[in-house]
Structure 1
Amino acid sequence: MELGQVAQHADDLDRAAAFYAELLGAPPTGRFDPPGLLFFDLGGTRLLLERGAPSAVLYLRVESVRDQVERLRAAGHPVESEPHVIFSHADDTLGSAGTDEWQAFVRDSEGNLLGLLSQERPD
């Protein structure tokens, strides 16, 4: 079994399309309006943005949480939790051994909480 799709609430599909295209570095893969469905590809899993979907907390893996938060902050998006290390990988069970797991939370264009994750070698 594998994850095929996750849904996220979006009141304004145009605004959400602009936010996620910028964040993900890729345009939407599909839009059907009506009924109000917008899709992005997340490494083979579909991200569905829909007016009728409940808000979910998505955690997106990025190259650098610190860099991504600064880009989002500069664009005016609220940062809810500053970048911080939540644990270090002692082995390869959840990530590459010897890396730190970084995390931060921001708000997307629709007010949804969005987690950002990265694994980085200690400075």
Structure 2
Amino acid sequence: MRLVQVAQRAEDLDRARGFYSRLLEAEPAGLFEPPGLLFFDLEGVRLLLERGATSSVVYLHVEDIGEALRRIPEAEVLVEPHVIFHHDDDTLGPAGHDEWQAFIRDSEGNSVGLVSFRTP
């Protein structure tokens, strides 16, 4: 079994498209208007931004959190980048790496976690 799709609330699809295009450095895979569905392909998992969907916390892998934050200066930083864990083995992340996380509020008011892995 694998994850196929995650949905996130977006009231303004144009605004969400701009925000997520810059954050993900990718254009949407599809827009269906109506009913108000915007899709991004995240390496085989669809991120659906949908009018009327419930908000959830989505964690997105980025190569460099600081650089990602510079691409989206309008994002409110809820939690500054910090190390949350060191991976001694590869059970939950790459062995020998520190896991960094930060939390932002996206253009639609949702909380989004940004995750990166760095060697200490």
How would you bin the TM-score normalised by the shorter chain?
Answer: over 0.9
- Correspondence for 1:7: 7
CA displacement 1:71-117 (0-9 Å, x = unmatched): 33xx2210000000001011121122211000000011101000000
Gaps of 5+ in 1: none
CA displacement 1:1-54 (0-9 Å, x = unmatched): 111111000010000011111111111111111111111101101111111100
Q: Number of matched residues?
A: 120
Q: Look up the equivalent residue of 1:103 and give its one-letter code.
A: Q
- Correspondence for 2:41: 41
- Secondary structure of 1:47's aligned partner: strand
Instruction: Kindly indicate whether residue 103 of structure 2 is the aligned counterpart of residue 112 of structure 1.
Output: no
- Secondary structure of 1:34's aligned partner: coil
Gaps of 5+ in 2: none
- Correspondence for 1:31: 31
Mapped to 1, the partners of 2:43 and 2:76 lie a distance apart of 26
Q: Give the CA RMSD over aligned residues.
A: 1.0
Mapped to 1, the partners of 2:61 and 2:94 lie a distance apart of 14
Using the size of structure 1 for normalisation, the TM-score is: 0.93
Kept after mapping to 2: 8 A contact 1:69/1:83: no
Misfit runs of 4+, over 4 Å: none
Mapped to 2, the partners of 1:121 and 1:9 lie a distance apart of 34
Using the size of structure 2 for normalisation, the TM-score is: 0.95
- Secondary structure of 2:94's aligned partner: coil
Kept after mapping to 2: 8 A contact 1:3/1:45: yes
Shift of 1:69: 2.6
Q: Look up the equivalent residue of 1:116 and give its one-letter code.
A: L
Question: Percent identity, aligned pairs only?
Answer: 63
